[in-house]
Structure 1
Amino acid sequence: MTTKASTTRKRRSTTTTAKKELNGKKVPALQIENIPIGKIKPDPKQPRKTFDDKQLQQLSDSIKEFGVLQPITVRKSGKDFIIVMGERRFRASKIANKKTIPSIVRTYENDEVLEVQIIENLQRKDVEPTEEAEAIAYLSDKYQPSEISKRLGRTDNFIRQRLKLAGLIDGFKHFVRNGEMTISLGVSVALFTPEEQKMMLETMGETFNAHQINRMIKDQSYDLEKASFDVADKTLVPKAGSCVECPFNAANQGNLFGEGKMVCTKSACFETKKSKSFLNLIEKTKKENILLFPEIRRYWADEESNQLIISQLEKNGFKVYLLDDVEIIENPIEPTIEAIKIEYQHYDYSEDELKAELDEAMQDYEQALKTYNSAKDNGFVNGIVFHPETYQHKSAFVKVIEKSENESTEYSAPLANRKMADCTPEEQIVKINEREIRKKHIENNKQFEEVVQMIRETNYIDTKKTLSTDEMVAFSISLFENNVDYVSQQKYFSKFLGDTSKMTKVEMVENFKKKFKKEVFHKLIRYILTRQVHFGESNHVNNLTNISFYNAIQGYYKSKIAEIEKAYSEKRDKREARLKERIAVLEKKIQELND
């Protein structure tokens, strides 16, 4: 018969058979010892900070039944031992009231301990992403990303993304930890400097809004594939160098925007290069006597941004022509069956019908090519047309349209800004129709306001009738439009109003009414309930909204809430017990002073 003591002796004499590697060196097999739990201390510098209480309890139950199957690793520190690997097993063993725990005692250099702990933690499956990012960033001081990926069994791109995530400021890391912010969005935000991230955080406010953050990212990042300059040019702005090699090019930090997608996240540098490339374009066209003109129509010429472009061209000695002033012949693009399929992808065309479309497009192409090749014979000259915002440009043949003496050469103001007497008969019809539409809109505003004011003066609010379907429809749409943010609309209510692409607002309401179900009404109410609670100093014992929500939700998640309450209660009881002891000591001192 095997006694408990003999089992312990056997375990103490057992040695590990595997030889592990540490920093490329073979570590010899070591003995497993059963060390009293009271002599073992967690490492305060341990990189892992979060432990799931529920999973700890499950591990504790397993340890009670089967024991600790894998020994922990510790190092000697005076009379005690410090945990290097296995703090979770140590915690679970304490919960299971174990007196000893199987351990391997090793000797480490100071800088090796943290590295071993980090690698051990990173090889787990449940690592919190921001802790993982910070740990990988620590390793990057010593190893290249490719070496880290080999050690952890991860891809190079994963390591680069986590390294970028480590640059996220604490304010945004909080949203990643609580699950409100996705890792991919966190990585996108981390592309920007800490100062830019702070501005984004302040702009967003206290409530996380993914849609707003995505818009800010889009506004502050630039697709280099659509740049007006050569992204490989190192001489355009010598201090900045080539965009292809730039660390602010997202393609050099992993596939953050897609496979090989080049996106600039340094707006000041991008704008500088864009402006410099435009100045170079001006010099080139002046030197080669090429006609340069912006993609601006006369009726947009008075816009401030367009006026700046026109002014810049005039200062450089150009006679400014707009799109209305010239005829343009561009080099036509030869059609392909692939392009035809994309163009007609929403049509139920057969292969024969697609081929017929291709044949027709090819005839148009051949005619356009003849026109292009004979452009110079017909009085056209070389020209360059550019976009007034991006400065992207393309070559074309251009001919200035001859104007009669009576025809004004000044840029026309937008139609809305011109007097009726200054408009052509066609333009007057447009203005008359636009004015009528505006009058109807104003009348509808006044009519609606009058109806609402009338209703507010009646006893409608005190009506005791059950809510009608129309009232529930009205309340549902009101809740949806005024309380559900864009992200939640997509996540929870993507089919709320149905396909609205071809409906007027009135038709949308009628369509929703036809398909209305009370379940939708209830879902909206429950969504609002989860969003109307107050955090901070307000909680479930001092705020009416929070108390009522806490009570209402008990009927659905009573056991889960009880688990949370139990954890806080135990923590509170321990704290209060320590306080009682402290107060008792102080009261004793007071008594001694009074005696």
Structure 2
Amino acid sequence: MTSKASTTKKRSRAKATAKKEVNGKKSSILQIQNLPLGNIKPDPEQPRKTFNKDALQQLSESIEEHGVLQPITVRQLNGHYIIVMGERRYRASKLAGKKTIPCIVRTYENNDVLEVQIIENLQRQDVEPTEEAEAIAYLSEKYAPADIAKRLGRTDNFVRQRLKLAGLIDGFKHFVRNGEMTISLGVGVALFEPEEQQMILETMGEDFNAHQINRMIKDQTYDLDKASFDVTDKKLVPKAGSCIECPFNAANQGNLFGEGKMVCTKAACFETKKSKSFLNVIEKSKKENILLIPEIRQYWADDENNQLVISQLEKSGLKVYLLDDVEIIENPIKPSIEAIKIEYQHYDYSEDELKAELEEAMQSFNEELEQFSTAKEKGFVNGIVFHPETYQNKEVFVKVIEKSKDKSSEYSAPLANRKMADCTPEEQIVKINEREIRKKQIENNKQFEEVVQMIRETEYINSKKTLSTDEMVAFSISLFENNVDYMSQQKYFSKFLGDSSKMTKVEMVENFKKKLKKEVFHKLIRYMLTKQVHFGESNHLNNLTNISFYNAMQGYYKSKIDGIEKEYVEKRNKREARLKERIAILEKKIQELND
């Protein structure tokens, strides 16, 4: 009885006239009408596109028993009624076999109808996140995020995150809709331009992999707290302005990386600012005669990235001193009890023991401060030390380590920085030999690159000849050196492995054997051989994979490889003959000086 009485009261209220406030404006008194379902059509522009089938069926059963308790809102258009609010009730009524449905007919101006639909849908609890994001993006064309948040009863951060999510490309929206991708991860991907998102999507492959996406996001974002430049500087790159106000600063897009965390999501802009700031440091070094020292040890000087940095300094007219060539005195940081507690947080120290550690740290600090304060008196000059990758830098005092030629007080710059004419005959021979080693490395690499390029342009991969022993050895070593990670297995071997998620390791091996064909195996190995060789400084003389590849190719392209080698041998012989003559002259001079 109670249920029927309640239903009767609700129906009575539904039949009564009502004043409604929509979009902040009061409407006139409107009469509820029972309209035929056949005269009503869903709005094709309706922002809500998805409806839960199970929930719709439950509502249909409720309507079949109790009727529609809340009228839908419609507008007239070309002899029909278009739904403004209540498409779910309309769909459920059709499922329940109803012929009519209670409606409020309203008139709307311009885009008011779409705005009402959007706000009505966004206030529901079951809105799909990407549709919610697109709807909020539509509202953002007219309202500020704070205004949208007030209208929806949401936080500013929620609205900003949904606005970012709206920028997700369809390929990733699919993963959000089916529940594979979390909203926070979707927002992380949406930080990037559509072209960059497409690249991330293609790199990931067919199967969704949250760990891989997180790693790619981390690789393509930059912590502005660790930037080598002043993030408040508006003039460093005038078109970009300050990072503080930049829309690509995650702190201005909601708390995507934590409360107030400044993270740059525009890689190209960050790299431009980093490079520009480094050029400014170089100019300051030249203008104020400050020694600029890269944090590179002699042992790592031949590394490709380090060579680029060294080359940049040399092209700017600076003498290059590495860490091994100088002494450095930094301005020490005064210790505090808070810093001591952090340093010894994993030790069970008493307050007295921590104070004792602080006293010892203060003593060291005072000694270092004395060194820093008297650095110039001891022959140190102003210097800047910088990291060769991040370009983060700090001002220090520097002294070039004195390396005497004899007992006099004259000292020379490092050999690599001196011109040939300024060197002794012995040093000239050293420089000549070092240059020759370098030239051979570069030359061998070019020769190897030509061989590899030539083979890549042939039909070698499609060859049906039986594999040679050299090819199998090359392939084995290639796997040994480079390994095949899990993602590559899924990407390149999935057709052989089948649905590996439902198999044991033994079943996967058996399935692989069953599907493997000799022709495919040959093609796979030859594909691996041509892709796994290494260019750069790793030529075929100093890399196991490459020399095995080179030997393997000899059996197929001997005459072509011989032709390439012959040209390089002739060049090398001519150059070495000239060098022998030059060294012979220098050795004669040395003999004369010693006599």
Taking the aligned partners of 1:368 and 1:7, their CA distance within structure 2 comes to 86
User: Contact (CA 8 Å) 1:327, 1:400: kept in 2 or not?
Assistant: yes
**CA shift at 1:347, angstroms?**
2.4
Aligned residue identity for 2:174: H
Taking the aligned partners of 1:232 and 1:7, their CA distance within structure 2 comes to 64
Taking the aligned partners of 1:10 and 1:286, their CA distance within structure 2 comes to 87
- Bigger mean CA deviation after superposition, 193-202 or 382-391: 193-202
Paired residue for 2:21?
Answer: 20
Taking the aligned partners of 1:395 and 1:313, their CA distance within structure 2 comes to 17
Determine if the alignment matches structure 1 residue 197 to structure 2 residue 170. Answer: no
User: Contact (CA 8 Å) 1:129, 1:183: kept in 2 or not?
Assistant: yes
**CA shift at 1:484, angstroms?**
12
User: Contact (CA 8 Å) 2:14, 2:71: kept in 1 or not?
Assistant: no
Taking the aligned partners of 1:202 and 1:302, their CA distance within structure 2 comes to 35
Taking the aligned partners of 1:249 and 1:45, their CA distance within structure 2 comes to 33
User: Contact (CA 8 Å) 1:483, 1:528: kept in 2 or not?
Assistant: no
Paired residue for 1:72?
Answer: 72
Deviations 1:468-511 (A, max 9, x none): xxxxxxxxxxxxx959999xxxxxxxxxxxxxxxxxxxxxxxxx
- Cα gap change, 1:173/1:302 in structure 2, threshold over 3 Å: closer, same or farther? same
Q: How many residues align?
A: 428
- Alpha-carbon RMSD across the aligned residues, in angstroms, is 3.5
Paired residue for 1:574?
Answer: none
Taking the aligned partners of 2:376 and 2:10, their CA distance within structure 1 comes to 99
Paired residue for 1:365?
Answer: 365
- Cα gap change, 1:13/1:278 in structure 2, threshold over 3 Å: closer, same or farther? closer
Secondary structure of the 1:318 match is coil
Which runs of no fewer than 5 residues in structure 1 stay unpaired? 412-421, 423-480, 487-525, 533-543, 545-595
Taking the aligned partners of 2:264 and 2:11, their CA distance within structure 1 comes to 64
Taking the aligned partners of 2:263 and 2:55, their CA distance within structure 1 comes to 41
User: Contact (CA 8 Å) 1:71, 1:104: kept in 2 or not?
Assistant: yes
Taking the aligned partners of 1:212 and 1:89, their CA distance within structure 2 comes to 42
Within 5 Å, give how 1:461-540 maps onto structure 2.
528-529=501-502
Deviations 1:269-325 (A, max 9, x none): 222221121111111111111111100011000111111111221222222111111
**CA shift at 1:13, angstroms?**
4.9
Taking the aligned partners of 2:357 and 2:172, their CA distance within structure 1 comes to 52
Within 5 Å, give how 1:6-45 maps onto structure 2.
13-16=15-18, 18-22=19-23, 24-45=24-45
- Cα gap change, 1:316/1:12 in structure 2, threshold over 3 Å: closer, same or farther? closer
Paired residue for 2:495?
Answer: none
Paired residue for 1:403?
Answer: 403
**CA shift at 1:527, angstroms?**
9.2
Taking the aligned partners of 1:528 and 1:410, their CA distance within structure 2 comes to 60
- Bigger mean CA deviation after superposition, 98-107 or 174-183: 98-107
- Cα gap change, 1:482/1:216 in structure 2, threshold over 3 Å: closer, same or farther? closer
Taking the aligned partners of 2:377 and 2:413, their CA distance within structure 1 comes to 29
**CA shift at 1:78, angstroms?**
4.6
Deviations 1:310-362 (A, max 9, x none): 12212222221111111111111111222122222222333333333222222
**CA shift at 1:107, angstroms?**
1.4
**CA shift at 1:265, angstroms?**
2.1
Paired residue for 1:426?
Answer: none
Taking the aligned partners of 1:324 and 1:20, their CA distance within structure 2 comes to 77
Taking the aligned partners of 1:398 and 1:156, their CA distance within structure 2 comes to 51
User: Contact (CA 8 Å) 2:329, 2:396: kept in 1 or not?
Assistant: yes
Paired residue for 1:167?
Answer: 167
Secondary structure of the 2:293 match is strand
Secondary structure of the 1:185 match is helix
Determine if the alignment matches structure 1 residue 183 to structure 2 residue 177. Answer: no
Secondary structure of the 2:94 match is helix
Paired residue for 2:98?
Answer: 98
Secondary structure of the 1:383 match is strand
**CA shift at 1:394, angstroms?**
0.2
Within 5 Å, give how 1:153-552 maps onto structure 2.
153-405=153-405, 409=414, 528-529=501-502
Determine if the alignment matches structure 1 residue 58 to structure 2 residue 31. Answer: no
Taking the aligned partners of 2:164 and 2:11, their CA distance within structure 1 comes to 50
Taking the aligned partners of 1:284 and 1:55, their CA distance within structure 2 comes to 68
Taking the aligned partners of 2:45 and 2:350, their CA distance within structure 1 comes to 68
**CA shift at 1:8, angstroms?**
12
Aligned identity (percent) is 74
Aligned residue identity for 1:14: A
**CA shift at 1:121, angstroms?**
0.6
Aligned residue identity for 2:304: E
User: Contact (CA 8 Å) 1:335, 1:358: kept in 2 or not?
Assistant: yes
Secondary structure of the 1:239 match is coil
Taking the aligned partners of 2:251 and 2:15, their CA distance within structure 1 comes to 54
Taking the aligned partners of 1:9 and 1:290, their CA distance within structure 2 comes to 86
- Cα gap change, 1:108/1:327 in structure 2, threshold over 3 Å: closer, same or farther? same
Q: TM-score, normalised by structure 2?
A: 0.66
**CA shift at 1:54, angstroms?**
1.1
Q: TM-score, normalised by structure 1?
A: 0.66
Aligned residue identity for 1:137: A
User: Contact (CA 8 Å) 1:12, 1:31: kept in 2 or not?
Assistant: no
Taking the aligned partners of 1:209 and 1:485, their CA distance within structure 2 comes to 14
Secondary structure of the 1:33 match is strand
Taking the aligned partners of 2:89 and 2:113, their CA distance within structure 1 comes to 18
User: Contact (CA 8 Å) 2:75, 2:81: kept in 1 or not?
Assistant: yes
- Cα gap change, 1:233/1:530 in structure 2, threshold over 3 Å: closer, same or farther? farther
Secondary structure of the 1:242 match is coil
Aligned residue identity for 2:39: K
- Cα gap change, 1:70/1:530 in structure 2, threshold over 3 Å: closer, same or farther? farther
**CA shift at 1:36, angstroms?**
3.1
Paired residue for 1:571?
Answer: none
- Cα gap change, 1:369/1:8 in structure 2, threshold over 3 Å: closer, same or farther? closer
User: Contact (CA 8 Å) 1:231, 1:242: kept in 2 or not?
Assistant: yes
Aligned residue identity for 1:40: I
Taking the aligned partners of 2:52 and 2:186, their CA distance within structure 1 comes to 23
Deviations 1:530-585 (A, max 9, x none): 999xxxxxxxxxxx9xxxxxxxxxxxxxxxxxxxxxxxxxxxxxxxxxxxxxxxxx
Deviations 1:95-122 (A, max 9, x none): 2333332221211125211111111111
Aligned residue identity for 1:190: A
User: Contact (CA 8 Å) 2:14, 2:70: kept in 1 or not?
Assistant: no
User: Contact (CA 8 Å) 1:41, 1:83: kept in 2 or not?
Assistant: yes
Secondary structure of the 1:382 match is strand
User: Contact (CA 8 Å) 1:12, 1:34: kept in 2 or not?
Assistant: no
Deviations 1:185-219 (A, max 9, x none): 21121121111111111111111122222222222
Deviations 1:110-169 (A, max 9, x none): 521111111111111111111011111111112121211111111122111111111111
Taking the aligned partners of 2:270 and 2:357, their CA distance within structure 1 comes to 41
Paired residue for 1:429?
Answer: none
**CA shift at 1:38, angstroms?**
3.2
**CA shift at 1:74, angstroms?**
1.4
Aligned residue identity for 2:277: S
Secondary structure of the 1:168 match is coil
Taking the aligned partners of 1:222 and 1:74, their CA distance within structure 2 comes to 50
